[in-house]
Each structure stands twice: as C-alpha cells, then as structure tokens.
C-alpha cells in the first residue's frame, strides 16, 4: 500500500462520517449554506441558516424577502451584502433555468451567481457523491504538512490531489482533511501526539511537541477518534 493510500485509509478509519458540518434539510439549503460559508465558520453559518430556514423553506420564501430582508437575516455573516445579492440571483436562476433543482454538473453549478470552483466541488462531493475535491484553508494546510502537494494555489493543490488520491477516496478526501484539520491538525496547536498520521506526516519531525490534556475533541458524530 502506498503512503498516500495509507493516509487516506487511516483518515477514513478514524472519521466515521466524513460529511460537511453545514446543517441543511434540502439540496437548496445546502447550496445556500456553502455560499454563506466563504470566509465564515460553519458554526456561524449554521446559526444563521437555522433561523433563516425555520420559516422560509422554499425558494419563493427566500425571494420574497427581497435584498434588504435577506441582508437582515444574514447580517452576522461576513460579506453579507454581496452574499445576499448572490443568493437571490442564484435562487431566481435555479427557478427559471433549472426547474428549481440544484444542478449536478460543475459547469452548471459554476454558472450560478456566487458559485465558484470550490463551492461547486463542495456541492458535487457532498450532495451528489462525485469525486470533486474542494480546496479550502484546511485542505491547503494539510496537503502541505502531509507532503501531498507543495502547490501555492487552490487549483494547483486540487490538481495534485486529483493525481495522487486513489479513486475510492476522492469524493471524501476534502471532508476527511477538513475534519482532521479542524479537530486534530490545527493551524496553531496541532495535536501531533494523538494524530493517526503522526508517523506519516512530513511536518511532525520539524515541529516541537506541544503538551496536551488527555481529553481529545472528536468532532461529535463525525468522528470515531481524531487521534
């Protein structure tokens, strides 16, 4: 078994449910949540969407809010003005062009206002279980630490991961890296001493150990053990 395949195997074994932590009740709600999540934490997005979709479950309900109304609903989210504008525009486009159905191709998704390559790949992998690799800050950081890519841009890292990751793991690898990065391989205080990839990590030998308490956060229902 190759080193990369072993990394994937261990991550998959340690994280029971490698799914996005964005809460949603429909494909449309997930798309909106991903658009909102740019430069914002999933925790904050979940707070906003829980309130937003509690009473407004349909696309028409969201459109009826209008720009000012939607801005009020999501104003605690970074870049909320532009995101509100994009959400209304993409909602209208979904209704008029896609029969109110979230499309499952990268080209169609990226034709929607506010949906770039990363957002499209998050939707494709999570909703439609396609081998689309979304590169966020966690994936960028871990790809470098694990020696999976030395790319400086999300696109280059995505290309390197597509070339390196075995086909069976491609649809889950982004979420596996995000969850591992969120709960174990943190940016400032990585929990190297409890990491399942400690002996496979290029960065471990260059990093001094930081003392940790015995309690290890597992990330709730998503993890068996992030260590």
Q: What residues have CB less than 8 Å from 11, skipping those under 6 apart?
A: 18, 173, 176, 177, 180, 196, 197
For the chain, how far is it from start to end, CA to CA, in angstroms? 21
Active site residue 136: yes
- Measured N-to-C along each axis, helices 117-127 and 170-183 cross at an angle, to the nearest 10 degrees, of 100
Count of Cβ atoms closer than 10 Å to residue 126 Cβ: 23
Cβ–Cβ < 8 Å for 134, 121:
yes
Of 83, 118, 171, 191, which one is the catalytic site residue?
Answer: 118
**Of 42, 104, 136, 160, catalytic:** 136
The CA-based dihedral angle spanning residues 166, 172, 173, 178, taken in that order and rounded to the nearest 10 degrees: -170
Sign of the dihedral through C-alpha 31, 35, 41, 43: negative
Active-site annotation, residues? 118, 136
């Amino acid at each position: 078994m190759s080193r990369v395949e072993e990394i994937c195997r261990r991550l998959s074994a340690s994280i029971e449910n490698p799914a996005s932590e964005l809460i949603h009740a429909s494909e449309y709600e997930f798309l909106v949540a991903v658009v909102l999540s740019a430069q914002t934490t999933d925790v904050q997005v979940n707070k906003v969407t829980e309130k937003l979709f509690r009473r407004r479950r349909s696309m028409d309900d969201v459109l009826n809010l209008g720009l000012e109304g939607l801005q009020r609903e999501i104003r605690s989210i970074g870049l909320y003005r532009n995101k509100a504008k994009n959400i209304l525009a993409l909602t209208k486009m979904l209704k008029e062009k896609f029969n109110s159905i979230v499309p499952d191709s990268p080209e169609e998704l990226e034709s929607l206002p506010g949906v770039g390559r990363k957002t499209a790949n998050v939707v494709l992998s999570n909703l439609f279980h396609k081998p689309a690799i979304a590169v966020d800050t966690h994936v960028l950081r871990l790809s470098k630490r694990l020696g999976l890519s030395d790319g400086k841009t999300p696109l280059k890292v995505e290309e390197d991961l597509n070339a390196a990751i075995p086909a069976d793991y491609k649809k889950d690898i982004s979420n596996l890296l995000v969850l591992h990065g969120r709960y174990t391989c943190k940016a400032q205080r990585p929990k190297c001493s409890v990491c399942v990839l400690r002996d496979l990590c290029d960065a471990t030998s260059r990093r001094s150990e930081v003392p940790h308490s015995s309690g290890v956060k597992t990330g709730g229902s998503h993890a068996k053990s992030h260590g």
